[in-house]
Amino acid sequence: MDDGEIKQVEEIRNRIGSLESELLKQKELLAQHAQAISTDLAENRRYAVSAEAGEKDVVEACCNSLERYGFAVVDNVIPVEKISTVREEVELAGPLIEGNLKAIRDYIGTNGGEEEKRSLLQLAQKDQKEKLELRAVRRRHYGPKPPNDIVWMPEYASFLAHPLLLQITQRMLDEHLKIAQLHLRPIAANSSDGTPGGFGRAADRGRPDTREWHTDWPHDLSAYGAGNAQTNAGCIRQPFPDVPMCLVMIWYLTDVDEDSGGTWVVPGSHRDPRNPRGPSDDITVSAPITGDMQISAKAGSVFIQDSRTWHASAMHNTSGKTRIAVVNRWCPWWMSVDDYAPGGTLNTVCRPLSQEEYSTLPKPLQPLMRHLCPEEFDEIQQPVLDRAEAARARTAWGFEQLRRAPEKLRHANAHVRVPII
Ligand SMILES: O=C(O)CCC(=O)C(=O)O
Ligand SMILES: [Fe+2]
């Protein structure tokens, strides 16, 4: 490089630097309007679109909302005439799931480490003597787990792989998807004995001005098990890369708003480098944040959020009715959804399915849950295969050029320039 070119490069780099700091300044200015933007967003439900709006419009609106705010709602996913059937099924499933978990907990007891509990459950599953519902997991030598909650909810299963949700998730994440977790998330109503409604420990509940901010796996900083290697499921390190890695769906089966368990969110937080649980981020997890808002949606709607979005379950519910909801976490094939937490026999991560349970799932749901069935070979799925096939063909074409006219290769990539910033 001669002196002139060195100077030119420096000028361009300085210009890029000042554009970047100008961008930061404008973002800080925008943050001053967070409350107003958020109030407008909540009042006008600008994050929501009806499933009946037409496929292209729904997918477009939903992906735009996810990109800008970090969340979206698709209204009317479950047809009105089906909602009570699904809700009743989920209400019945709750005690079955909890009853099974309690029986497992009673069986393994509170003494001993995770390794002992794991071996105990391995034996229990083998002799099938105890009245415990347990299923083998895909990984060899790992302990069995309670079955995936979906086995108790066949009606709900018929909606889970809704074509609109599939399209939205495929566009945001990748074409081959896995449902990595699925669980119920009821929010209690105030009870007649005076126990306040809301999510969390009874002693912490009841106030509309408290929160339990967090982000979701794989962006859940405490990773379920925190400092315990047996139960830590892994967490992406801060600052999170600006890539959506998991979409969380909350299927509301009762109406939700400020009084009845609408999810709390901080719009735009999916792109903020801080985190409510971040040890160095100076945020109080239990306090409101300027610009926070609660989702409102009718039963049958699905709330979708980027796992990086700061959010919280409502710690109050004054509606007089339990909020009924099912949560699922959808990930691309490349997420390491079930590799860690060897002692996490009771966590909700990748609860397995027997082959029979898997084969009775609705056909469109099977590809999303195939990784949960140890007997199934979990192959890379079609659109991802097509991409690889296209890359193979392009590579072969390149070598074809080499064989045909190697002397022409010298300038073949002359148009390819990579900026070194
Ligand atoms: O209960 C809600 O509305 C939020 C649920 C939630 O944060 C979760 O399951 O990760
Ligand atoms: Fe969450």
Mean pLDDT across 34-44: 98
Q: Are residues 108 and 22 in the same domain?
A: no
- Indicate the top mutation candidate among 250, 316, 328 to test ligand 1's pocket, ranked by most ligand atoms within 8 A of CB: 250
- Indicate the top mutation candidate among 71, 212, 252, 263 to test ligand 1's pocket, ranked by most ligand atoms within 8 A of CB: 263
pLDDT band at 4 (very low <50, low <70, confident <90, very high): very high
d(CA 303, CA 296): 10
Does residue 378 belong to any structural domain of this protein? yes
d(CA 421, CA 417): 12
Q: Are residues 27 and 149 in the same domain?
A: no
Does residue 152 belong to any structural domain of this protein? yes
Q: Are residues 210 and 141 in the same domain?
A: yes
Does residue 226 belong to any structural domain of this protein? yes
- For residue 283, what pLDDT is reported? 98
Does residue 418 belong to any structural domain of this protein? no
d(CA 48, CA 386): 33
Q: Are residues 125 and 13 in the same domain?
A: no
Q: Are residues 327 and 226 in the same domain?
A: yes
- Indicate the top mutation candidate among 71, 73, 149, 185 to test ligand 1's pocket, ranked by most ligand atoms within 8 A of CB: 185
Q: Are residues 56 and 189 in the same domain?
A: yes
Q: State the Cα torsion 148-134-356-370 to the nearest 10°.
A: 40
Question: From the CB of 220, is ligand 1 less than 6 Å away?
Answer: no
Name the nearest CA neighbour of 337 among 168, 186, 171, 148: 148
Q: Are residues 234 and 271 in the same domain?
A: yes
What is the per-residue pLDDT across 113-172, written as a single tens digit (0 to 9) for each?
888 888 889 888 887 777 899 999 999 989 999 999 999 999 999 999 999 999 999 999
Q: Are residues 24 and 113 in the same domain?
A: no
- For residue 130, what pLDDT is reported? 73
Measured by CA distance, the residue closest to atom 9 of ligand 1 is: 327
Mean pLDDT across 331-337: 97
325 C-alpha to ligand 2 centroid (Å): 13
Q: Are residues 18 and 148 in the same domain?
A: no
Task: Give me the number of domains the chain comprises.
Answer: 2
d(CA 28, CA 26): 5
Name the nearest CA neighbour of 145 among 155, 156, 128, 133: 133
Question: From the CB of 182, is ligand 1 less than 6 Å away?
Answer: no
Measured by CA distance, the residue closest to atom 6 of ligand 1 is: 313
Q: Are residues 267 and 231 in the same domain?
A: yes
Does residue 398 belong to any structural domain of this protein? no
Does residue 197 belong to any structural domain of this protein? yes
* C-alpha distance from residue 288 to each of 66, 126, 296 (Å): 22, 49, 18
- Is the pLDDT confidence value at 178 over 90? yes
Q: Are residues 8 and 68 in the same domain?
A: no
The model carries a pTM of: 0.96
- For residue 119, what pLDDT is reported? 87
Q: Tell me the one-letter amino acid at 374.
A: P
Q: Are residues 167 and 203 in the same domain?
A: yes
Q: Which two tokens stand for residue 267?
A: 């719009």
Contacts of 210 (CB under 8 A, 6+ apart): 204, 286, 287, 288, 315
Question: From the CB of 212, is ligand 1 less than 6 Å away?
Answer: no
Does residue 371 belong to any structural domain of this protein? yes
- For residue 131, what pLDDT is reported? 83
- Please, which residues have CB less than 5 A from ligand 2, an ion? 216
Does residue 89 belong to any structural domain of this protein? yes
% the chain with pLDDT above 90: 94
23 C-alpha to ligand 2 centroid (Å): 30
Mean pLDDT in the chain? 96
Other C-beta atoms within 10 Å of 18: how many? 10
N-terminal to C-terminal alpha carbon distance within the chain:
16
Specify the CATH number for the domain of residue 344.
2.60.120.620
d(CA 296, CA 172): 23
311 C-alpha to ligand 1 centroid (Å): 8
Quick one: which ligand is closest to 185's CA? Answer: 1
d(CA 322, CA 91): 10
Write out the residue range of the structural domain in which residue 330 sits: 46-388
What is the per-residue pLDDT across 272-288, written as a single tens digit (0 to 9) for each?
999 999 999 999 999 99
- For residue 171, what pLDDT is reported? 98
